[in-house]
Amino acid sequence: MATADEPEPILRGQDVVREYHTGGQTVRALDGVDFAIRPAEFVAVVGPSGSGKSTLLNLLGLLDVPTSGRVELGGEDVSTFDQGQRTRTRKRDVGFIFQSYYLIPTLTALENVEVPRLLDRTPVETRERATALLERVGLGDRLDHAPDELSGGQKQRVATARALINDPNLLLADEPTGNLDRDTGDSILDLFDDLRTEQDVAVVTVTHDEYVADAADRVVRLIDGEVRG
Amino acid sequence: MSLRHRLGGSVPVLVAALRNVSRAKLRSTLAAAAILIGVVSIAVVGAGGEAFKSGQLQRVESQGATNVYVFPGPDREREYFTREDLVEIQETVGTTGVVATTTRDGQWHRRSDRSEQVSLNYVESAAALRAITPVERGELPSTWRRQAVVSNRFASDHGLAPGDRLRISTGDESAQTYRVVAVLSEPTGGVGSAEVYLPARALDDRQYDRARVLTGSADEAELTAALLREEFNERRDRLLVFELTSLLRLFTQVVNGINSFLVGIGAISLVVAGVAIANTMLMAVIRRREEIGVLRAVGYSRGAVVRILLAEAGLIGAAGATAGVALALPAVMVANAAFLGDPLAFTPGAVGYLAAAFAFGVGISLLAGVYPAWRAANERPVDALRG
C-alpha cells in the first residue's frame, strides 16, 4: 500500500489473470496477481520454470494484455489501449533487456543502440545519445565493433544501452546476469543502481540468480501463477 | 557526423531496408536478377517491336499512302478498264487525279540474237507519270510517243542513260524502238512499279489493268476509297479498291497483337520473378523473426515494420529493374538503328515500354513483398521472442 512518502507507482496491477489456450486446454499462467512498481525501485521476480515469470514481464512491458484484472500505467487502464497506443507507450516508457540480447549481427554496437530511434528522423541527436550511453556502460572504445566481436558482458551492456536510448521509466531485464560471470554481473547490477539513483528508473528483473535477488529492494516469488511470500 | 548519416536520417526506412537487403547479398542479388530478366524481356521485345513497327510504317507510307489503287472487280464482265470506266471513276472522285496504267511483260531485244524479259508499265501521259514518280535524270516529253522512261535500278543494272535506244516487243508483235528520255528516281518495288515505262498510246487496245487515284493525304485516300466502294460496289463488286491506310491499320493491329503476345510472355517471367522475391522476403522474415519481434517490442509500429519490409522488396525490384532497363537500352538502340536508321530514334511507344517494364518490375516486387511484410508485422512480439 502506498503511504504518504511513497511516490505513485509507474505501473500497477490488480488481480491480474493471464490464460493461454493450447491444444484445447486452458493454461492459467498468472492467477490473480497484484503488483505495483514505483520509480527507482529494483524488483526481482523469482520462481521456478513455468511459474509465470515471463508472462508477468510481458504484461509489465505491454507486450501482452491480461485475460482479466487490471493493469494501469500512470493511472490508465492499458486494456483500453489499442495496438498503436501500446506500441507508442512501450517506446516512451519501457526499455527491454532480452535474455539473449537479440542484437542485430550486421550492425555495430553503436548502430544497435540506435535501432529503437532509427525511424525518428533525428540522426544527430540519436547518435550523440547512443554514443553517450555506450560510454556510460563502459564501451566507449567499442562503438564500431560488431556483436560477434564483443564478449557476453559487452553484449549485455550494448543491450542495456539500447534499452535506455528512449529514456524509459521502467527497465525490464530477463535474466540480466544469466550468461555472465560474477564480476561482469556485478558491473551490470552497479549500472542498474546508478540508473535508479540518477534517473529514477525502476528496474524489474526476472532471474534464477539468488545473487541478483539479494541485490533487489523487493523479491516477488511466483509459484504456479501466484505470488507467494 | 557524416553528411551521409544526416541524409540517411531523413529516409530512415530506406536506410533500414538497405541495411537488411545488403545482409543477404546473394539472395537479394538472385531475386533482383530474376526481375532483371523479366524487365529486359519486356523492354527489349516491347520497345524493339515498336521500332520495327514504326520503321515498317514509315517505309509503307513512303510507298504511297496517299494513293488509292483501283483494280477491275470480280463481278465485272471485262478484266480491264476502258476509257469509259476511267471517266466514270474520274467523275466519282471529282478533281482528284486518276492515273490509269497497264502492266505487261515484254521482251527487250538487247541484240539481234539476245532478248530478255522486262516488266512494262503503260502510262497515259507524261504528266500522269510525273504525278506518280519523280524523275531523276533526263526529261519527260510533252508529247509522249516513241520514248521510254526507265527505273533507276534498271538503268544502273544495264548502264542505260537518256539517249540510249531500247527495242521492245510484247506478245506476238514485232519489236518497236524507243529512245530512253528519262530515268526515274524512285526505286522499283512499290505498287505498280516496273522497269520500263511506255506511253499508253503504244498499246493498240487501250485496256488498263489498274488505276491509281492520287489524293493529298492518307486520310483523303481513305475517304476516296470509301467513296469508290460506295459508288461502284453497292450490289456487285465492280472494283477492287485498296488504299494503304486501311492496310497500315491492319498491319499495325497485327504487329501490336504479336508484340502484346511477346510482351505478355515477358510479363509472365516478371510474375515468376515476383514469386522469387516473395520467397526471398519470406525467408528473410522467418530468419529475422526474433529481430522483428525486438523491433516491435522497442516501439516499432506494425506500419513501420511493413514499410521497412516493403522498402526491401522495392529496393530489390528497383535494382533489378534499373539494371534491366540499362541492359535493354543498348538492345533497343540496335533495333532503332536497324529499323529506323538512328540508334537514338526512340518512339514514344518504345519509351512507354521501357517505363512500363521498369514500373512493372518494381510493382511486382512490392506486390510480392506484401504478404511477407504483413505476416511479419502481425506476429505478436511475445510469440516471436519466445523463440
DSSP sequence for B336-352: HHHHHS-TT---HHHHH
Helix%, strand%, coil% for chain A, nearest 5: 40, 25, 35
**Rounded CA separation B70/B236 (Å):** 15
**Rounded CA separation A112/B81 (Å):** 91
pLDDT of residue A2: 46
Clarify whether residues B158 and B80 are in a common domain: yes
- Span A36-71, pLDDT tens digits: 999 999 999 998 888 888 899 999 999 998 999 999
Contacts of A90 in chain B (CB under 8 A): 297-299
Contacts of A61 in chain B (CB under 8 A): 297
**Strand-by-strand arrangement of the A226-228 sheet:** A94-97, A170-174, A202-206, A42-46, A218-223, A226-228
Q: Is residue B2 in a domain?
A: no
For B307, name the nearest residue in chain A, comparing CA atoms only: A119
Clarify whether residues B20 and B94 are in a common domain: no
Clarify whether residues B21 and B97 are in a common domain: no
pLDDT of residue B205: 77
Q: Is residue B4 in a domain?
A: no
Q: Which of B194, B179, B195, B183 is nearest to B138 (CA)?
A: B183
**Rounded CA separation B292/B49 (Å):** 46
* Cβ–Cβ gap A64/B382 under 8 Å: yes
Clarify whether residues B112 and B224 are in a common domain: yes
Categorize the per-residue pLDDT at A132 as very low, low, confident or very high, splitting at 50, 70 and 90: very high
- Phi/psi for B115 (5° steps) reads -140, 155
Q: Is A173 exposed, middle or buried (0-12, 13-18, 19+ CB in 10 A)?
A: buried
* Cβ–Cβ gap A115/B298 under 8 Å: yes
How many CB atoms are closer than 10 A to CB A175? Answer: 18
Domains in chain A with CATH codes: 41-64+91-228 (3.40.50.300)
The domain boundary, picked from B242, B264, B279, lies at B242
* Cβ–Cβ gap A119/B381 under 8 Å: no
Q: Which residues of A touch B (CB under 8 A)?
A: 54, 58, 61, 63-64, 83-84, 87-88, 90-92, 95-96, 98, 102, 104, 106-107, 115-116, 118-124, 126-127, 162-163, 166
Contacts of A102 in chain B (CB under 8 A): 290-291, 293-294, 385
Query: How many structural domains compose chain B?
Result: 2
pLDDT of residue B387: 55
Mean pLDDT, chain A, whole residue set: 89
Q: Choosing among A87, A144, A175, which should be mutated to test the B contact, i.e. which has the most B CBs within 10 A?
A: A87
Q: Does this complex have an ipTM over 0.85?
A: yes
The domain containing residue B353 runs over which residues? 12-60+249-386
Residue A1 has pLDDT above 50, yes or no: no
* Cβ–Cβ gap B298/A166 under 8 Å: yes
Clarify whether residues B330 and B269 are in a common domain: yes
Question: Are B241 and B225 in contact, with CB atoms under 8 Å apart?
Answer: yes
pTM of the complete model: 0.76
Clarify whether residues B187 and B300 are in a common domain: no
* Cβ–Cβ gap A90/B1 under 8 Å: no
Clarify whether residues B234 and B262 are in a common domain: no
Residues of chain B with pLDDT under 50: 188-189
* Cβ–Cβ gap B299/A162 under 8 Å: no
Triad B270, B276, B280: Cα angle to 5°: 140
The alpha carbon of B123 is separated from its chain's Cα centroid by a whole number of angstroms, namely 33
Q: Choosing among B298, B300, B301, B380, which should be mutated to test the A contact, i.e. which has the most A CBs within 10 A?
A: B298
The domain boundary, picked from B173, B207, B242, lies at B242
The domain boundary, picked from B186, B221, B242, lies at B242
- Phi/psi for A203 (5° steps) reads -120, 125
- With b for 16 or more beta-carbon neighbours within 10 A and e for fewer, the B174-208 pattern comes to eeeebebbbbbebeeeeebbbbbbbbbebeeebbb
Helix%, strand%, coil% for chain B, nearest 5: 60, 20, 20
Question: Are A129 and A165 in contact, with CB atoms under 8 Å apart?
Answer: yes
Clarify whether residues B215 and B276 are in a common domain: no
